[in-house]
Amino acid sequence: MTEVFHHGARVLLQDRVYRPIDTTDTSTIGLIYTAPNADPAKFPLNTPVLFLADRYQAADLGTAGTGRDAIDGIYDHIGVPIVGIRVAETLTIEEQLANIVGDYATRTGVHALYKAKNSVFKVPKILIAPGFTQQRVTGGITQIVVGSGGAGYTEAGTSIVIAGNGYGGGAKARPIIQSGVITGVQILNSGLGYSDQHLVITIVGDGANATIADFEIGTAANPVVAELGGIANRLRSTIIADCPNGTAEQSVAYRRDWASERIYCVDNHPLVYRDGNVTSEPPSARVAGLLAKVDNQEGFWVSPSNHVIEGIIGMSKPIDDSGVGGESDYLNENDVATIVHRGAGFKLWGNHGSSSDPLWRMFAVGRTRDAIFDSIEKAVDEFAPGKPLNLRFFEGVADSVNEKLRYWQSIGALIGGKVWVDPALNPPGQLVLGKPKFSMDFEPVGVAEDIQIVASREPEYYRELVDQVVLALAT
């Protein structure tokens, strides 16, 4: 602080670095939909449009396509902000899924969600595409085998080019390169609709002599969920994925396509009453609305399971919910949520995401982590960069985060957590480069699932009966 002459008193503000941390919004829904009769001026294609609990705005979409019904399913639970992305409607499911997937470079389809933060100033945290996530597709590329690995290749200068020649689309893959040699190909998106006779896969790059020896086409994972997976990781969002609505085994096979706690698979399409007719709809819109409602009314750390799904009159298929070993147990054990009728109302039933790691199996636990990380990262990013690396800086950041961790613990979101500075992680050389490092631990609140009450007989209770008999006879 420079010294400027002044005759008289002055009050100067000293920045303590400490800032209070707000909890980020976890309930904004990202909806990918079709609406062929919508006004293109109000709802341009591949452009985020913010819906703010206004049913009249949703009515302007028209009845065709998936948008209006999905928004109605959400609003049956709660009025939350919805970031809507309208995509063009096509005649075939292959073309439609390709439109939904879109393109990262041009930010179309699901990739238009990336534009929401700077255009409508909302980050979607619950991602859905009702009607387009339930298909396990045929004609997907399930394996690409390298023949000769060649030499001189780099990751920056090499790509895998997939051409369906009029049959199929949407597949993406990347080369795996070690010391300039292509040792394998990682399939990022299997695509759909490909034909053995027409598919051509080539390696284009800065090396030479690498070849593709073979490929396999078969049943593959849903390309929309696959593409949303990468977006969810970047946005710290979750995906509500609709299962095929066939057999329980088909739903479990669908779930096994994924290994992410951010994907919540839901079986059993609900029945709704629309325009005088009973019809089944994918559950994702209503589950998204329910999840947003639970976030707002109970907390982001609360599981959506065992909550009533509103606005439905039944289920499209019966679920055996008779107890241990029933169909609902089979689905839940295999990380698939379902809809059951237990006493009163139709309830969502299932706590698991699709993680292969048991530490993150509970869907609510992963969402708790994301909310905490998002809140801390956003707050610290706003006030800490550029500040002098002195004692006041370290105390300010640590105090800010620890205070919020204590708050989350006090309201039941965390079991505990703390932030500290480890000298071993902060040598002078790192601090000279402006890279201070804080250590943090935390423990989310678990979810009650298999609640056991162990019972046994106790003949000693007869003594109480005898005492009662003696007292009764004495009077």
**Per-residue model confidence as pLDDT tens digits over 385-401:** 999 999 999 999 999 99
d(Cα 310, Cα 345) in Å, to the nearest integer?
8
How many angstroms from the chain centroid is the CA of residue 269? 20
More confident residue, 65 or 321: 65
Residue with tokens 């090499």: 158
pLDDT tens, position by position, 175-227: 999 999 999 999 888 888 898 999 999 999 999 999 999 999 988 889 999 99
d(Cα 191, Cα 169) in Å, to the nearest integer?
6
Q: What percent of the chain has pLDDT over 70?
A: 99
Kind and range of the H or E run holding 206: none
pLDDT at residue 331, rounded to an integer: 96
Angle at 52 between CA 96 and CA 231, to 5 degrees: 45
Task: Please list the residues that pair with 443 across neighbouring strands.
Answer: 416
Nearest to 182 by CA among 163, 165, 158: 158
Instruction: Locate 405 and state its tokens.
Output: 């961790």
Angle at 301 between CA 24 and CA 453, to 5 degrees: 175
pLDDT at residue 137, rounded to an integer: 82
pLDDT at residue 469, rounded to an integer: 96
Nearest to 319 by CA among 241, 246, 244: 246
d(Cα 11, Cα 454) in Å, to the nearest integer?
68
pLDDT at residue 318, rounded to an integer: 83
DSSP 8-state code for residue 344: S
Highest mean pLDDT of the ranges 61-65, 137-141, 302-306: 302-306
pLDDT tens, position by position, 336-380: 999 998 778 899 999 999 999 999 999 999 999 999 999 999 999
Query: What pLDDT band is residue 300 in, cutting at 50, 70 and 90?
Result: very high
Q: Is the dihedral of CA 425, 418, 302, 66 positive or negative?
A: negative
Angle at 237 between CA 236 and CA 241, to 5 degrees: 145
Q: Three-state SS for 460?
A: coil
Angle at 347 between CA 297 and CA 130, to 5 degrees: 85
pLDDT above 90 for 4: no
pLDDT above 80 for 55: no
Average pLDDT score over residue span 56-62: 87
Reduce the secondary structure of 86-129 to three states and give it as a string. EECCCCCHHHHHHHHHCCCCCCCHHHHHHHHHHHCCCCCCEEEC
d(Cα 290, Cα 270) in Å, to the nearest integer?
14
* Other beta carbons within 10 Å of 20: 9
pLDDT above 70 for 28: yes
pLDDT above 70 for 1: no
pLDDT at residue 2, rounded to an integer: 64
pLDDT above 80 for 279: yes
Nearest to 281 by CA among 125, 100, 73, 432: 73
pLDDT tens, position by position, 77-111: 999 999 999 999 988 887 898 899 998 889 999 99
d(Cα 38, Cα 86) in Å, to the nearest integer?
9
pLDDT above 80 for 23: yes
Instruction: Locate 440 and state its tokens.
Output: 């943090």
Angle at 311 between CA 305 and CA 314, to 5 degrees: 80
pLDDT tens, position by position, 450-461: 999 999 999 999
